A and B are shown apart, each in its own frame.
Chain A
Amino acid sequence: MRLVLEKRQEASDLMAYASPLIAVAITFAFSAIVFAAMGKPVGASLFTYFIEPLTDLNSLQELAVKATPLVLIAVGLSLCYISNNWNIGAEGQYVMGAVFGSGVALAAQGTMSGPHVLAAMLAAGILGGMLWGALPALLKVRFGASEILTSLMLVYVAEKVLDYLVRGPWRDPKGYNFPQSVAFDTTVPVLFESGRLHLGSVIALGVVIAAFVLVGRTLKGFELQVVGQAPRAARFAGFSPARATLFVFAVSGGLAGLAGIIEVAGPIGQLQPSISPGYGFTAIIVAFLGRLNPIGCLIAGLLLALTYIGGENAQIVLKLPLDLTKVIQGFLLFAVLACDSLILYRPRLIAGGSHGGTAHGAH
């Protein structure tokens, strides 16, 4: 007996939806094995990790707070990925958004406040992310440099810029020499008295809907998909791959930057050296788990947020290391990509034999 993958005539619609679910199930099973291997009770660990955060209102709000940057970034990244542009540097674009937005916040500090300052901060955040995203796009379009490498390397540059600012010019003079800025006067307002759910989550929902319409209903969305699916046909259709690259990097950089300033002016409240537990990288998993579909990104963002909160829970309750979260997230991406092959291929058990070329046929 051996297992072969047969190419399907058309992509399977069923599997397009089932594959992320299968991946999630496999990840749960994998997590159970890891918990067992670490000598923890499997049932209780799974409950603490994946169920408990869903059981009270406060942690549900917390879930949305964590999901907000993930969803914002992932929606932008999915636009990149459908058009075959590999933006791996959303983390850096997120940081530069936070830096630009904080610049506005600090300039207005003590002299102005109110919605227009917040709007200016968000706009500056978008601009910062856009500019940081435009760099790898320009390098790709102009010189053919791999955007995977350049966007990733710019992450580290952005982090150094942030580090310099909070330790140098933007450090709070009354902050006992801690590397952090003053607490912002103008912050992203929370929605309810109790809890941390804030306006950013509403913005993220709006972005999801806008992106869904863009991709599925407009010529621009069609263009991005065709550029990714058949570059030669895209040029034949008069769509410029270079223009698409600049567009998606600008949009995804802008959204990552928006996520950055919302996080800094929201839950964090000030600029500090560490402003992200790796949202920009985790969002890559969110984008793929969400089938590069904005609505899917929303669902996947909530799921990944769950692993963050569950991980914190497990650290407190079960004394499990926080790094386990990254292991589980990484395994989830692996499982998603593996399960995606089921969309185009059909697994089939074949009895015995060693014939060559089983999967080939005349088309």
Chain B
Amino acid sequence: MAVAGAEIDMAGAGTLDRSVASNAATALIAALGISKRFGSTQANDKVDLIIQPGEIHALLGENGAGKSTLVKILYGALQADSGALVWEGTPVAIANPAAARALGIGMVFQHFSLFEALTVAENIALAMPGKLDLAGLSKTIAEVSQVYGLPLVPTARVADLSVGERQRIEIVRALLQEPKLLIMDEPTSVLTPQEADQLFLTLERLKSEGKSILYISHRLDEVKRLCDAATIMRHGKVVGHVDPRAETAASLARLMVGADIHVVKGRAARDAGAVRFALRQLTLPKNGPFSVALDHIDLEVRAGEVVCIAGVAGNGQTELFDAISGERVAASAGAVLIDAQPVGRHGPNDRRRRGAAFVAEERLGHGAVPVRVLSDNVLLTRHASDAGLTGGGWLSFLRKGAANAVVDRVTQAYDVRKGKRDPEARSLSGGNLQKFVVGREIDRAPGVLVVNQPTWGVDAGAAALIRQALVDLAATGSAVLVISQDLDEIFEIADRIAVIHHGALSPAYPAATMTLEKVGLLMGGAHPEKLDTEGQG
């Protein structure tokens, strides 16, 4: 494998340039000195990326490090302000994704672009140039999926498929264009560990055929295991070209973050107190063609405890959150209990008045109104539970000063960076807005906090702060329930872990007894009881 030039380089630009020059000649693609600016943000600053033929090359970096921008430039979705792209030794301009595909660059996006109501073959046909030949295409799909170990039924409807299967469609779709370079954006973030293993086999197979893969990830173990070379970015700059197999996960993380990563403190074993939040046989039918029914869910969260619910996206997490927050009411009052009070038939505000607080997964449009200022967004979730935010009387006049005071408190306590005192929610970066929406709820000192995806799309610094805040809240005697797809996060903060699969929830096991493998099996639908006996065996 061609990894000769991928030496560890932290000394500075001088040596970097030399290694770049020697490698660029043989490269499949070389992006040299790429810069791209958005307004006041320098998203890419003289970035070099060189991918050799037959190489799995990792692009590592935190959220916001500039990975997506660089990849969009490679794929023609963005144009660099300056810098050059060299494809197989020839300088090229990639004006749009069609031009990229024509060169031989395929891409599998993190967020799939599939029509749920169409079949696998129909979805792929939409992306193919030329005349539509569904029968012929179905045959090709079957062949390609066979060869690369990506089992797919061409006539299956996408809506019925798991996330892993959907990803296979995207991969097959990219492979049908016979790319020399396949770009994969965070491919394992939606997969169970077992599904990820399957994906790695496919990638190895592609590599053995001489295809190159640009593998974007922040999961260091995967990168170490799979990749031949790695380019690490931080704040829009390349901070190192390394051989990941020669590094440790910790040394890679240090390069990525620029400092030792914060470890959550205070997660000593606590004595769990009384049950503060409980679900009893919570069952909800589907409320749309692509929604998941909730199936007799039982759960207890005690005072002082962080319980995490793991699961692959689309297994009922959204539905569960809506049922807990009261956006959808349950059939019986006793299905949801807050401090032993039945609230199953009550809406969100009645639940908040009883001491519960909720943080929705989608920051913009669910947890916050994008076009409204932060003080209005304080009002959004706290108008019913905080007496001071509105004046007396049936007209409920708004008290702007009280809402602004909350904004200031949250800004101070959670280090929310913003341009002015009270900006529109949408003008904040993802991490800062997430700190705000989490801080907004914790500021109430809720007895029960339920968070869906607390650190989704958030930079490591903000994520660490948010996780610490959740653990600290539990330490004060609150019950904290976290729904997350990030297993690292779950193992970092959970006292107990449950897994949701197809709308059914496994028992919550003490985190100390859980392993990545066990969680993975549950995520994939293994039966909890069977697992128990295996675990004891």
Show the binding face of A for B, using Cβ within 8 Å. Answer: 9-11, 217-220, 222, 225-226, 229-230, 232-233, 235-238, 240, 354-357, 360-362
Contact = CB atoms under 8 A, between A and B. Distances in A.
25 contacts: A9-B39, A217-B397, A218-B398, A219-B383, A219-B395, A219-B396, A219-B398, A220-B396, A222-B376, A226-B369, A229-B370, A229-B372, A230-B371, A232-B362, A233-B366, A233-B369, A236-B327, A236-B381, A237-B349, A237-B381, A237-B383, A238-B326, A238-B348, A240-B347, A354-B95
Interface residues of B, number: 45
B399 to A, nearest CB: 10
B366 A236 contact: yes
B325 interface: yes
Interface in B365-381: 365-372, 376, 379-381
B464 interface: no
Contacts of A361: 38-39, 78
Contacts of B362: 232
B458 to A, nearest CB: 14
A240 B384 CA distance: 14
8 pairs of A and B residues whose beta carbons are closest in the complex: A238-B349, A219-B396, A230-B369, A361-B38, A238-B348, A356-B96, A232-B366, A237-B380
Contacts of B371: 11, 229-230
Contacts of A220: 395-396
B55 to A, nearest CB: 26
B424 interface: yes
Contacts of B89: none
B98 to A, nearest CB: 9
Contact of B348 (A225, A230, A237): A237
B99 to A, nearest CB: 9
B369 A229 contact: yes
Nearest to B366: A232
Contacts of B395: 218-220
Contacts of B365: 230, 232-233
Given A218-B396, A219-B390, A233-B369, 4 more contacts: A222-B379, A233-B365, A236-B360, A356-B95
Contacts of B69: 362
Interface of B: 38-39, 41, 43, 68-69, 76-79, 95-96, 325-327, 347-349, 352, 358, 360, 362, 365-372, 376, 379-381, 383-384, 390, 395-398, 423-424, 426-427
A226 B370 CA distance: 10
Contacts of B384: 238
Contacts, number: 93
B397 A360 contact: no
A281 B79 CA distance: 47
Contacts of A236: 325, 327, 348, 358, 360, 366-367, 380-381
Contact of A355 (B79, B368, B427): B79
A116 B325 CA distance: 50
B372 A362 contact: no
A153 B423 CA distance: 42
Contacts of B68: 362
Nearest to A214: B395
Nearest to B364: A230
Contacts of A222: 376, 379, 383, 398
B347 A238 contact: yes
A70 B347 CA distance: 39
A344 B106 CA distance: 34
B263 to A, nearest CB: 29
Contacts of A362: 38, 41, 43, 68-69
Nearest to A225: B372
A235 to B, nearest CB: 5
B320 to A, nearest CB: 15
A4 to B, nearest CB: 14
Nearest to A232: B366
Contacts of B39: 9, 361
Contacts of A237: 348-349, 380-381, 383
A225 B370 CA distance: 12
Nearest to A344: B371
A225 B371 CA distance: 10
A233 B360 CA distance: 9
B418 to A, nearest CB: 12
Contacts of B79: 355, 357
B423 A10 contact: yes
A168 to B, nearest CB: 43
B73 to A, nearest CB: 11
A288 B367 CA distance: 29
Nearest to B76: A356
Nearest to A221: B398
Contacts of A226: 369, 372, 380
A226 B368 CA distance: 10
Contacts of B397: 217-219
Nearest to A230: B369
Contacts of A9: 39, 427
B96 A357 contact: yes
A240 B350 CA distance: 14
Contacts of A235: 327, 348
A360 B390 CA distance: 40
A209 to B, nearest CB: 14
A236 B368 CA distance: 9
A233 B77 CA distance: 31
A222 B69 CA distance: 37
Of B362, B366, B426, which is in contact with the most chain A CB atoms at under 10 Å from its CB?
B366
Contact of B398 (A217, A232, A240): A217
Contacts of B96: 356-357
A232 B352 CA distance: 17
B396 A233 contact: no
A218 B398 CA distance: 5
A357 B80 CA distance: 12
A219 B349 CA distance: 14
Contacts of B367: 233, 236
Contacts of B43: 362
Contact of B77 (A219, A230, A240, A360): A360
Contacts of B423: 10
Contacts of B426: 10
